[in-house]
Amino acid sequence: MSIERLENWGMPSTAETEVMVASRKRPFIIAGPCSAETPEQLLATCRALAHTGINALRAGIWKPRTRPNSFEGVGEVGLKWFKQVRDELGIPIATEVATATHVELALKYGVDILWIGARSTVNPFTVQEIADALRGVDIPVIVKNPLNPDLALWIGGLERIANAGITKLAAMHRGFSTFEKTQYRNLPMWQMAIELRSQMPDLPLFFDPSHTGGKREFIYPLSQKALDLDYDGLMIESHIDPDNAWSDAAQQVTPARFAEILSELKIREVTSDNVEFQNALEELRGKLDLIDRELVELLASRMKIVEKLGQYKRENNVAVFQVDRWIKVFQSRPEWGEKMGLNKDFVGHIFKLIHDESIRIQTAKVSD
Ligand code: PEP
Ligand code: MN
């Protein structure tokens, strides 16, 4: 799969003020309203954002809404407003496409960047339909993660678009929907994006704090976390009058607040040339290597004992899994961890994995 870096997306940088001072690459920032509502709302929002140093604007024209009879986007007419915005401000503009017709219309009106929403990425038929409509076109496409935490589905969506010949391709992490109620609208599950990055290291990775958090107060902390994890860009919803937005009112910020958030974000350096820093880093990493080796050795000794235990249980005709024992293990280990300053859930997760492996080892011997 051939992927061009963001710098090659060929869009002019509109940075009038260097709001993000960085010795390394500056994140690619997309901002704009959840939806284009009226020509006035769109233009006023985009004008106010144009001075904040963003790389691209966003606005939804076709809105996937959970329930019918809510505002479902203005449709094709909004694309005419886009043209006015671009003519006046000269900033590329992005919108969501979910059908082949959306793609055709977006291309007809010269939309600069397309994204595929979370509700579309879940469906390979939809992604393939979009991919087919994009064949032979040179336009940046961003694929948001699917609603459910399924990395293969996300990668599959990216591959379908790449196979259509799109090289200006990026992924956008917008969190995953969960049954369980949390403070966020969608659970970040950062490890999913980290895993995507390790499998596709050349793919630019964006983060959408607005749809992940679902509330304006989460935009800043979630964006900072994404930058700390070395994401390449952010997409943030901003509306000239957020409280009266026709969609996603709770998660949009005014352009003024958006500018403030941008100026407060810190871009961490991935590496530093400072020799002292490099030496300290090497030393600490060396210590971690030793500890990791010990951890693996300890796990190996543990599993040897598990094997013996399994054999013993078999000889005495006792079931492999004894619930009482594991209830005790699952209780005591996280408690030990907590006393030593570790996160209880983290220790619980580790012992869940250890338990699965212990059962596997004991039952594997039975079926030999
Ligand atoms: C959006 O960005 O407007 C949107 C609908 O996002 P998502 O697909 O992430 O829900
Ligand atoms: Mn939205």
Closest to 185 (Cα-Cα) out of 250, 233, 95? 250
CATH architecture, domain defined by 275-367: Up-down Bundle (1.20)
Which among 80, 65, 68, 55 has a CA at the least distance from the CA of 34?
Answer: 65
- Residue 74's region, left for phi above 0, alpha for psi from -120 to 50, else beta, is alpha
Q: Is 10 helix (H, G, I), strand (E, B) or coil?
A: coil
pTM, entire model: 0.79
Ligand 1 site, CB within 6 A: 34, 60, 64, 96, 117-119, 144, 174, 208, 211
Q: What is the pLDDT of residue 20?
A: 30
pLDDT of residue 7: 65
Whole-number Å distance, alpha carbon 115 to ligand 1 midpoint, is 9
Pairing status of strand 28-32 against strand 141-144 = unpaired
Cα 118 to middle of ligand 1, angstroms: 6
Per-domain residue ranges for the chain? 6-264, 275-367
The residue type of 115 is W
Return the DSSP state at 94: E
Q: How far apart are CA 152 and CA 150, in angstroms?
A: 6
Residue 13 carries which side chain, given as an amino acid letter?
S
Ligand 1 atom with the smallest distance to the CA of 247 is 3
Q: Which atom of ligand 1 is nearest to the CA of 118?
A: 8
Predicted pLDDT of residue 332? 96
What CATH code is assigned to 6-264?
Answer: 3.20.20.70
The pLDDT score that the predictor gives to residue 365 is: 54
Counting ligands in written order, the one closest to the CA of 174 is: 1
- The atom of ligand 1 lying closest to the CA of 174 is 9
Q: pLDDT tens, position by position, for the chain (368 residues)?
A: 666 767 656 444 433 323 233 334 689 999 999 999 999 999 999 999 999 999 999 999 999 888 888 899 999 999 999 999 999 999 999 999 999 999 999 999 999 999 999 999 999 999 999 999 999 998 999 999 999 999 999 999 999 999 999 999 999 999 999 888 899 999 999 999 999 999 999 999 999 999 999 999 999 999 999 999 999 999 999 999 999 999 999 999 999 999 999 999 998 777 777 888 888 999 999 999 999 999 999 999 999 999 999 999 889 988 878 888 889 999 999 999 999 999 999 999 999 999 999 999 988 855 44
The alpha carbon of 336 is separated from its chain's Cα centroid by a whole number of angstroms, namely: 33
Using DSSP's 3-state secondary structure scheme, residue 234 falls into: strand
Token output for 354: 């250890």
Alpha-carbon span 253 to 143, nearest angstrom:
24
Residue with tokens 């500890």: 291
Q: For the chain, where are the E strands, in sequence order?
A: 28-32, 56-58, 93-96, 113-116, 141-144, 169-173, 205-207, 233-237
The backbone torsions φ and ψ at residue 252, rounded to the nearest 5 degrees and listed phi first, read -105, 150
Give the closest residue to 107 by CA, choosing from 142, 144, 133, 84: 133
**Cα-flanking dihedrals φ and ψ of residue 171, to 5°?**
-110, 150
Which residue matches tokens 């970040």? Answer: 188
Rounded to the nearest angstrom, the distance between the alpha carbon of 231 and the centre of ligand 1 is: 18
